[in-house]
C-alpha cells in the first residue's frame, strides 16, 4: 500500500513538472544584429537652435532631427522591418540659412530603433554618421535635402546610408522666415522623402 502511494506521488510530480514545462514562457532572446538592406519612407522634423537667420548672427548652431520611418522593405533582416524611429543631432559653426542650400560637411549622427513584423525576432538599433548634406530647389517651389553617410554600428553596420527629404515649407516661406531670423523648424513631406541603407 505504501509503495503504491509512493509510486502515485512520484508520477504526480513528473506530470506536474511536465505540465509546467509546457506552459512556462520561453526565455526571451536579445535582438538580432541585422544584416542586408532596408529602405523606408521618412517623415522628419528638423529643429534649429538658435533659429536660422539670413544673415546668420550666431557662432554655434544645434540641429535636432526626429523622424518616423514607414513602408519599409529590404533584403536579409531588412525584409522583416516594417517601421522605425530616428533621433539625431548635428552642430554647425553658425545659424545662417545657407546651411539649407548647396553642399556642406556635417557631423550629423543618428540612432534608429526598428520594428519588425509580428512574431519575428527584433532587430538591434542602427547608428549612422553622415558626412555631407545638399540642399537644392526642386523646380516646384520646394527644397530637397539629401545626406550621405555610413552605418557605424549596430544593425546593417558598414552599409551606405542615404536620405532624400522634400521639405514641407515652400522656398518662399523658408526665405521669409530666414529674413526675420525665425526659422525654428521645418518638416518633410513623407510621400516625397526616403531613407536607404544599402
Question: What pLDDT shows up at residue 64?
Answer: 98
d(CA 179, CA 57): 12
d(CA 24, CA 21): 5
Among 2-6, 13-17, 72-76, 187-191, name the one with the lowest average pLDDT. Answer: 13-17
8 Å CB contact between 146 and 164:
yes
pLDDT tens sequence across 1-29: 455 544 434 443 333 334 333 444 444 46
Question: What pLDDT shows up at residue 139?
Answer: 84
The C-alpha cell that represents 67 in the structure block: 523622424
Question: What pLDDT shows up at residue 33?
Answer: 97
* Residues in Cβ contact with 120 at an 8 Å cutoff, skipping those fewer than 6 apart: 80
User: Which pLDDT band holds residue 67 (cuts at 50, 70, 90)?
Assistant: very high
Question: What pLDDT shows up at residue 197?
Answer: 98
Which pTM does this prediction carry? 0.83
Question: 58 phi and psi, to 5 degrees?
Answer: -100, 160
Amino acid at each position: 500500500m505504501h509503495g503504491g502511494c509512493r509510486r502515485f506521488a512520484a508520477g504526480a510530480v513528473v506530470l506536474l513538472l511536465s505540465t509546467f514545462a509546457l506552459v512556462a514562457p520561453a526565455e526571451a532572446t536579445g535582438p538580432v544584429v541585422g544584416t542586408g538592406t532596408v529602405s523606408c519612407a521618412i517623415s522628419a522634423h528638423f529643429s534649429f537652435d538658435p533659429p536660422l537667420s539670413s544673415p546668420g548672427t550666431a557662432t554655434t548652431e544645434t540641429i535636432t532631427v526626429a523622424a518616423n520611418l514607414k513602408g519599409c522593405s529590404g533584403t536579409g533582416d531588412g525584409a522583416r522591418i516594417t517601421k522605425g524611429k530616428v533621433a539625431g543631432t548635428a552642430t554647425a559653426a553658425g545659424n545662417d540659412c545657407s546651411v539649407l542650400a548647396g553642399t556642406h560637411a556635417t557631423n550629423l549622427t543618428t540612432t534608429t530603433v526598428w520594428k519588425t513584423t509580428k512574431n519575428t525576432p527584433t532587430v538591434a538599433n542602427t547608428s549612422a554618421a553622415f558626412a555631407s548634406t545638399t540642399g537644392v530647389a526642386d523646380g516646384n517651389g520646394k527644397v530637397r535635402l539629401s545626406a550621405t553617410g555610413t552605418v557605424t554600428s549596430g544593425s546593417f553596420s558598414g552599409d551606405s546610408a542615404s536620405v532624400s527629404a522634400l521639405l514641407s515649407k515652400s522656398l518662399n516661406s523658408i526665405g521669409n522666415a530666414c529674413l526675420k531670423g525665425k526659422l525654428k523648424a521645418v518638416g518633410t513631406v513623407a510621400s516625397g522623402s526616403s531613407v536607404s541603407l544599402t
